[in-house]
Amino acid sequence: SNGLSKEFLWGGAVAAHQLEGGWQEGGKGLSVADVMTVGKPGQERGITDGIISGEYYPNHEAIDFYHHYKEDIALLKEMGFKCFRTSIAWTRIYPTGEESEPNEAGLKFYDDLFDELLANDIEPVITLSHFELPYHLVTEYGGFRNRQVIDLFVKFAETCFKRYQDKVKYWMTFNEINNQANYDSDFLVFTNSGLRFKPGENREEGMYQAAHNELVASARAVKLGHDINPDFQIGCMIAMGPVYPATMNPDDVLAAQKAMEKNYFFADVHVNGVYPDFLTKYWARKGFNINITAEDEADLKSGTVDYIGFSYYMSHAVKKDSEIAFDDMTPQNSQVRNTYLEASDWGWQIDPKGLRYALNWFTDKYHLPLFIVENGFGAYDKVAEDGAVHDDYRIDYLREHIRQMKLAVVEDGVDLIGYTPWGCIDLVSAGTGEMDKRYGFIYVDKNNKNEGTLKRSKKDSFDWFKEVIASNGENL
Ligand code: P53
């Protein structure tokens, strides 16, 4: 074909904790996102032990989508959205994670939200776990390191699948499950798995155990979902940032390959239902003892995913340090700046061709349909005298990425379900907790200091993206 199919799912993506607010509405429990403060470029946000009075927690109110969703969906409809990706906040359904019966007020909120989307011909695309673990499971269980949390997640997934089986077809289990490969970051292991390490603990081994438990939880949910409704399309969700070698030196090429393995084995397990040999051999060399039962192995095989959802923001590059063995490379000690690329104010390297590369890489390796469920440009926006936001830099970023996406589909034959740019309406940044790191087509009047009216308005990119959708990607 000469273009994208008529069914191509144009839309946008958000996550419950980054926009809903209403942190105590309708019986909602405390989640990991509710105990995180604000950082800044180059400084990840803080995590407190429970709620500390006097601290500012930006996710508590966020943009109050909880009370504004009808007005917001009307704007998405005006842009012509075919789909809308959001998540179900686990703590609205099971406030501590441990209840035996779900919370009806929470279930009802998502019924109403999905009904509103469907009434506007917008298909909900739903992530089950997007950095929203009940905080109770951190304090009482140690997060996903504890096998009991597998059952608690599967219970939550089953409740959602049964309740929304006639409203939602596209699901994903764990958002960016592979972020924790960067286990030195307190933020990434906390948001993925509810892990809090003590000094002296082996963070890497703890991360692999939690990741394993999540992969089993995901597989069991996929199997259950397919039993509940065979029409469900259930995917994994991988943060994709291709890792390039810094030079043609074979050491750098191999370093890049090893870095890719450590970041993307998660997809191997989701897709193939088994661990790749490079990883189990690595664990043996490191003396890691990961508890994997025979039942886990069977579960992983019986719950492989239907598609690969992934986020794409940037690419990375690595250089082999002759003092550091391949086994001891980490994202911190081997990463270098790519001198061919510009970066955002947060240091994210802008690389549209990397998206085409990623689409081809996934296709070559896994031969599954793909879904770009996040892509976008976080930037400081200025409101002009006339109240408008002239975000041509955002339009440039998205245009170039859509061009490369189309080349991957039209010239390379990649099977792509859709494209949902991140933060289609301004929301709280996951990484820094800032409101002023904006991605939206829709501006929300609120800043890092919790000031603002929450009023919504259209940026220049709003009309641009509306035309992109209307022309099915032809008019960029
Ligand atoms: P923010 C790290 C690396 C790549 C993507 O991120 C990441 C992260 C975590 O910050 O997160 C994803 O808001 C994530 C979204 C997040 C979005 O990318 O830090 O799935 O929740 O908001 C953008 O600019």
294-348: pLDDT as tens digits: 999 999 999 999 999 999 999 999 999 999 999 999 988 999 999 999 999 999 9
Q: Of all protein residues, whose CA lies closest to atom 19 belonging to ligand 1?
A: 431
Minimum-distance ligand 1 atom for the alpha carbon of 428: 13
Question: Which residue from 416, 361, 425 is spatially nearest to 73, judged by alpha carbons?
Answer: 425
18-58: pLDDT as tens digits: 999 999 999 999 999 999 999 988 888 999 999 999 999 99
List of long-range contacts for 116-122, beta carbons under 8 Å, 24+ apart: 116/69, 116/70, 116/73, 117/73, 117/84, 118/167, 120/73, 120/74, 120/76, 120/77, 121/77, 121/82, 122/11, 122/73, 122/76, 122/77, 122/81, 122/82, 122/83, 122/84
214-223: pLDDT as tens digits: 999 999 999 9
> How far is it, in rounded angstroms, from Cα 242 to Cα 178?
13
> How far is it, in rounded angstroms, from Cα 265 to Cα 423?
27
The per-residue pLDDT for 408 is: 98
List of long-range contacts for 182-187, beta carbons under 8 Å, 24+ apart: 182/330, 182/331, 182/332, 183/207, 184/330, 184/331, 184/332, 185/44, 186/44, 186/47, 187/36, 187/44, 187/45, 187/47, 187/431
Of 1 and 317, which is predicted with more confidence?
317
> How far is it, in rounded angstroms, from Cα 330 to Cα 310?
22
Cβ-contact 73, 122 below 8 angstroms? yes
Minimum-distance ligand 1 atom for the alpha carbon of 429: 13
Q: List Cβ neighbours of 210 (8 Å cut-off, separation of 6 or more).
A: 143, 144, 145, 180, 189, 192, 193, 194, 195
374, 411, 434, 474: the active-site residue: 374
Cβ-contact 194, 137 below 8 angstroms? yes
> How far is it, in rounded angstroms, from Cα 34 to Cα 51?
8
**pLDDT band for position 80 (cuts 50, 70, 90):** very high
Q: Average pLDDT, whole number, for the chain? A: 98
Q: List Cβ neighbours of 135 (8 Å cut-off, separation of 6 or more).
A: 29, 30, 31, 32, 34, 35, 50, 91, 194
Annotated active-site residue 176? The verdict is yes
Give 293 Cα–ligand 1 centroid separation in angstroms. Answer: 32
386-442: pLDDT as tens digits: 999 999 999 999 999 999 999 999 999 999 999 999 999 999 999 999 999 999 999
Q: What share of the chain is helix, strand, coil (3-state, %, to 5)?
A: 45, 15, 40
The per-residue pLDDT for 42 is: 85
> How far is it, in rounded angstroms, from Cα 135 to Cα 34?
8
For the chain, state the CA radius of gyration. 21
The per-residue pLDDT for 311 is: 99
Cβ-contact 312, 242 below 8 angstroms? no
Direct distance between the N- and C-terminal alpha carbons of the chain, in angstroms, rounded to an integer: 19
Q: List Cβ neighbours of 333 (8 Å cut-off, separation of 6 or more).
A: 321, 324
**pLDDT band for position 355 (cuts 50, 70, 90):** very high
Among 130, 313, 345, say which to mutate for ligand 1: greatest number of ligand atoms within 8 Å of CB. Answer: 313
Q: Of all protein residues, whose CA lies closest to atom 4 belonging to ligand 1?
A: 239
116, 132, 176, 214: the active-site residue: 176
Q: List Cβ neighbours of 161 (8 Å cut-off, separation of 6 or more).
A: 171, 221, 224, 225, 228, 229, 232
391-401: pLDDT as tens digits: 999 999 999 99
143-156: pLDDT as tens digits: 999 999 999 999 99
3-state secondary structure of 282: helix
115-169: pLDDT as tens digits: 999 999 999 999 999 999 999 999 999 999 999 999 999 999 999 999 999 999 9
Give 431 Cα–ligand 1 centroid separation in angstroms. Answer: 6
199-214: pLDDT as tens digits: 999 999 999 999 999 9
Q: Bridge partners of 317?
A: 244, 336
Give 285 Cα–ligand 1 centroid separation in angstroms. Answer: 32
261-293: pLDDT as tens digits: 999 999 999 999 999 999 999 999 999 999 999
> How far is it, in rounded angstroms, from Cα 84 to Cα 9?
9
Q: List Cβ neighbours of 18 (8 Å cut-off, separation of 6 or more).
A: 33, 59, 62, 423, 427, 428, 429, 430
The per-residue pLDDT for 41 is: 87
Q: List Cβ neighbours of 288 (8 Å cut-off, separation of 6 or more).
A: 202, 204, 205, 208
The per-residue pLDDT for 150 is: 98
Q: Is the pLDDT of residue 1 over 80?
A: no
Q: For a pLDDT cut of 90, what percent of the chain falls above it?
A: 97
3-state secondary structure of 118: helix
332 burial level (CB within 10 Å; 0-12, 13-18, 19+) = exposed
**pLDDT band for position 2 (cuts 50, 70, 90):** confident
Tokens 């440009």 appear where? 377
Pocket-forming residues, ligand 1, beta carbon under 6 Å? 15, 18, 175-176, 179, 239, 311, 313, 374, 378, 422, 429-432, 437
